[in-house]
Amino acid sequence: MAKKLDLLDKSIPSWKVILLLAWPTIIEQILQTAVNYVDTAMVGSIGTYATAAIGVCTSSIWLLMGVMSIAGIGFSVMVARRIGEGNMEEARTTIRQAMLSILIIGLFLTVIVQLIIAPNLPRWMGADEEVLPYSVTYFRIIGAGYLFNTALIVSSGILRCMGDTKTPLKYNIMTNVLNVMGNFLLIYPTRELTVFGATFTMPGAGWGVAGAATATVLATAFAASCMTLTLFLRKGPLQITIKQDYRPQKEILLQAFRLGVPSFFERATISLGQICTTAMITGLGTAAIAAHQLANTGESLCYMPIFGFATAATTLVAQNLGAGDKARAYQQAKWCNWMAIGVMCCTSAIMFVFSRQIIDIFSNDPTVISLGSQVLRIEAFAEPFFAIGSVVAGVLRGAGDTKWPFYISLAGMWLLRVPIAFTLIRFFDWGLHAVWVGMALDLFCRGMISLWRFKKRGWLHVWEQREARLAGK
């Protein structure tokens, strides 16, 4: 059983608390990224139609995950806040309401996907006729598991904000392994394999794209079940049971909704902006598309650690503000920021120096390697500001100030990234460089605005101001 860390213990140095919280999330993100690469390669080996079928659905799946994150962010921040207050009864009540929201959101999304989105979305997205049936099948199977996806997002978020980041890491590692094994057995047909000179028959279902989707759903169901059961079975002051009261409580559900909805709009804003810039890139040729995709892949290896510090910031700020210790909340948030900037400066320097070698891992096309390495070097200068924006967003969420990350993302994406990319491509013929210059300026401005909001310290009072307004109604 994972030992629960007391985040309010002032005898533990801030840097140590942050590292204890952050490292499991960092490892989890890196492993998830690595498995995604393996997953993509396994699906791609079936044929171009398989990659295209999944690609048609990806952006929409990402947006639907954003709907699930409404509950994930809202309830996890509320639980951390109640823990900080020492109000364990209210924390347990909040966890039970989170379980209720899993059923509501998960079943609603499942029905919507099966009846409306899956049958129509691939055609709306302009999928080729030969790809269309595979996209519909993939989306339907993935949508059938949305109850588990919702449970995974909500339960893992609550566990992290309770100070337990090791349990999500443990089950997500097992999930990634199961996903790859499931792909191996369900995607490919029965075939002969030779390993170290020994030949044997490997059974397989030969389901192709449907096999990839099924493997993902089964692996997700495993992780979701394990993490949700942890909340029911782990002994302690936050344990919940089936026999307790699960009737809807309007005040708690509305508060979680108010906290989570801006985060969904933030995610949707970024996603739609990325779709627009991707549409611009498709007109630049195959080499530009490939270079952009591989540069994004290379960049993701550099910024993965930042999500660990952002998660730590959300948890620590929420618990410390719940305990009424604003000074410690600010101090630990500042530590999260500086540690993230330090890590990102190191990884961005590596990205700049070894940009060509990074792209060379994924491609042997000289044009793609040259173009991808050039845009990676542009982005390297913006990465420390990306760290500031990401961690401060985590700080603001922990403080209940979830609107500001949305405002900052909206301004950066639609006032800078998209217009700059469009202008430099259309009028100055900068090609792919235009998109990455726009991205770098977006991240720079997001970081500076986030830093301004952080330094103003208004976020330290947002929660109590909201509760005062609600009490006055």
Beta bridge pairs of residue 198:
195
Q: Which two tokens mark 17?
A: 């608390």
Q: Which of 49-53, 294-298, 334-338 has the lowest mean pLDDT?
A: 49-53
Q: Which two tokens mark 370?
A: 């040259």
pLDDT of residue 50: 75
Q: What is the mean pLDDT of the chain?
A: 88
- pLDDT tops 50 at residue 1: no
Higher-confidence residue: 393 or 123?
393
Other C-beta atoms within 10 Å of 473: how many? 4
Q: Which residues contact 429 (CB under 8 A, 6 or more apart)?
A: none
DSSP character string of 209-220: HHHHHHHHHHHH
318 pLDDT band, cuts 50/70/90, is: very high
pLDDT of residue 8: 76
Cα(first)–Cα(last) distance of the chain, in Å? 44
Pick from 164, 169, 226, 232: nearest CA to 21: 164
- pLDDT tops 70 at residue 37: no
Pair type for strands 189-195 and 198-205: antiparallel
pLDDT of residue 364: 80
- pLDDT tops 80 at residue 251: yes
473 pLDDT band, cuts 50/70/90, is: low
Average pLDDT value for residue range 347-354: 93
Average pLDDT value for residue range 14-35: 83
Beta bridge pairs of residue 192:
201
127 pLDDT band, cuts 50/70/90, is: low
> What percentage of the chain reaches a pLDDT higher than 90?
54
Pick from 358, 361, 368: nearest CA to 285: 368
pLDDT of residue 345: 94
Contact 138/210 with Cβ under 8 angstroms? yes
Cα(169)–Cα(135) distance, integer angstroms? 31
Q: Which of 57-61, 152-156, 209-213, 404-408 has the lowest mean pLDDT?
A: 57-61
Instruction: Number of helices (H) and strands (E) in the chain: give both, helices first.
Output: 18, 2
Cα(345)–Cα(338) distance, integer angstroms? 10
- pLDDT tops 80 at residue 151: yes
- pLDDT tops 60 at residue 3: no
Give the type of residue at 225: S
pLDDT of residue 197: 75
Q: pLDDT for 188-247, tens place per residue?
A: 888 887 777 778 888 888 888 899 899 999 999 999 999 999 999 999 899 999 999 999
